[in-house]
Amino acid sequence: MRTWLEVDLGLIKKNIETVKQTLPEGCQIIAVVKANAYGHGDAKIAQALRRFGITHFAVACIDEAAQLRNAGLQGEIIVLGYTDPQDVVRATQMDITLACVGRSHFKELYAAAQEATKPLKIHLAINTGMNRIGFECRTPEQLERIYKSYNTVKNDIAQGEQVIDICGIFSHFSSSDDTSEGAEAYTEKQLERFNMVLDFLKSRGIEPGLRHISNSGAIGKYPQARFDAVRCGALLYGYNTAMDAKLPVEPVMEWKTKVTCVRTIERGDAVSYSRKFVASKPTVIATLGVGYADGLSRALSNKGCVLINGCKAPIVGNICMDQMMVDVTEIHQLASEHAIPFDVARGTEAVIIGRSGKLVQTADDIAEGCGSCMHEVLSTIGLRVERYYR
């Protein structure tokens, strides 16, 4: 076993309860399990969440949704991104809810749904300021287009020929976890636009279905934006994104590997490709069985670290596709000077994300080292990294 993840399902349950305590009665959690449940393993995580009382799940595309259905997951599965109309019949057959990203998309989905044996379930996406997908909503004409979609369904129901079931409406905050100047005002403007859409529909006698706009960053920070449900991703996995409104959640996953080789190199010796690290003195180098093909960013070359025996071991040289090297000289010196079993040998455990002794390294720490975010660090952990659950 070269590299693996250890996922604590009990901590996921604890994190769910933490989030639930912030929500008003009746507000549901939509568990975001896209991107292989942020790298944690979508089927196992979703099945555990279902046991813990979660009934709604969100993914990025229909293939992710189908994978969960094929794994036996029960409950509502909502695709948050664009789906090609050619997949409409497949969606109805597998009871998958699709996002409708605009009026023209609605017409395409409607036409495709004529071939299905039951109504296609959709949530209307509203563009309140993310400017990624969704119906525009800033003018009376744009609001009218949203209404027309609902009215089409209303008329079909009256004629007993329902083709589409609009069972929800949603938007997405761009800056709810941001503390930069103007972020809060922008988030409030997005919320104002979403409320404007809801008020307009109400004035036309429309019940919009499940209303949701809050992501993890907004859950603790904008209680006025919780509506019928909140979409919870990062918080489930133990990571706060809104640093000014933290919830007491804990990371549920540790990423580990093992030492495969230890050698002492001399002054002037280089390590790894392109000789990006050259030893200035005799140095003890440990090779680890993990690389960028496993999802460990090459941007950490020569500046990140792993944890070994409760100590930091700096990454040296370029991270390779399947292996990497770290400097364990100081760890060996500690073992020698204090007569303690800190020495590093083949088979010694190395922690990429998680705890070693008193030290902890999180996905946030990794992200800071490579100029990214914890979402990317977690979601890009490769499929060949074995996953174990407890």
* DSSP 3-state of 334: helix
Provide the pLDDT for residue 128.
98
Phi first, then psi, for residue 349 (nearest 5°) are -75, 140
Percent residues over pLDDT 70 in the chain: 98
Spatial separation of the C-alpha atoms in residues 199 and 275, rounded to whole Å:
63
User: pLDDT value at position 64?
Assistant: 98
pLDDT for residue 221 is more than 90: yes
Rounded CA separation 348/326 (Å): 13
pLDDT tens-digit series, residues 293-311: 999 999 999 999 999 999 9
* Residue 338 pLDDT exceeds 90: no
Q: What are the pLDDT digits (tens) for 84-140?
A: 999 999 999 999 999 999 999 999 999 999 999 999 999 999 999 999 999 999 999
Backbone phi, then psi, for 309, in 5-degree steps? 50, 40
Beta strand 96-100 with 210-212 is unpaired
Tell whether the model's pLDDT for residue 373 goes beyond 80.
yes
Asked if residue 216 lies in contact with residue 232, where contact means CB atoms within 8 angstroms, the answer is yes
Q: What is the pLDDT of residues 173-182, one digit of tens each?
A: 999 999 999 9
Residue bearing the bigger pLDDT, 337 or 110: 110
Structure tokens that stand for 101 in this block: 């990203």
Catalytic site positions:
34, 273
Determine the average pLDDT of the residues in 303-323: 96
Instruction: Please tell me the predicted confidence (pLDDT) of residue 238.
Output: 98
Q: Which of 325, 349, 330 is nearest to 282 (CA)?
A: 330
Mean pLDDT, residues 218-246 taken together: 95
340 pLDDT band, cuts 50/70/90, is low
Return the H-helix or E-strand segment holding 307. Answer: strand 305-308
Backbone angles phi, psi at 134, to 5 degrees: 120, 155
Confidence of residue 332 (pLDDT cuts 50, 70, 90): confident
Q: Are 46 and 79 in contact (CB under 8 A)?
A: no
The pLDDT of residue 334 is 78
Q: Cα–Cα distance between 55 and 30 in angstroms, integer?
A: 8
Contact between residue 349 and residue 1 where contact means Cβ atoms under 8 Å apart: no
> CA 79 → CA 15, 83, 89, 343, distances in Å?
23, 8, 14, 49
The model's pTM: 0.94
pLDDT higher than threshold 80 for residue 341:
no
Q: Give the pLDDT confidence score for residue 339 in this predicted structure.
A: 60
Average pLDDT, the chain: 96
| Pick from 274, 273, 270: nearest CA to 283 | 270
Euclidean distance between the first and final Cα of the chain, in Å?
A: 18
Q: Residue 336 pLDDT > 80, yes or no?
A: no
Strands 359-361 and 349-356: antiparallel
* pLDDT-derived band at 342, boundaries 50, 70, 90: low
DSSP letters of 339-384? T-S----TT-EEEEEEEETTEEE-HHHHHHHHT--HHHHHHT--TT
DSSP H or E segment with residue 49: helix 42-51
In this model, does residue 72 exceed pLDDT 70? yes
Give the pLDDT score at 343.
Answer: 79
> For the chain, what percentages of helix, strand and coil (3-state, to nearest 5) are there?
35, 25, 40
| Sequence-distant (≥ 6) Cβ neighbours of residue 148 within 8 angstroms | 103
CA pair distance 31, 251, nearest whole angstrom: 16
pLDDT surpassing 70 at residue 335: no
Q: Cβ(365)–Cβ(251) under 8 Å? A: no
pLDDT tens sequence across 73-99: 999 999 999 999 999 999 999 999 999
Q: What is the mean pLDDT of residues 345-352?
A: 96
Domains of the chain: 9-232 (3.20.20.10), 253-361 (2.40.37.10)
The confidence score (pLDDT) of residue 355 equals 97
**Among 37, 83, 78, 26, residue whose Cα is nearest residue 56:** 78
Element (H, E) at 7: strand 3-7
Could you read off the pLDDT of 47-59 as tens digits, one per residue? 999 999 999 999 9
Containing 66, the helix (H) or strand (E) segment is helix 62-70
pLDDT band of residue 362 (cuts 50, 70, 90) is very high
Q: How confident is the model at residue 211 (pLDDT cuts 50, 70, 90)?
A: very high
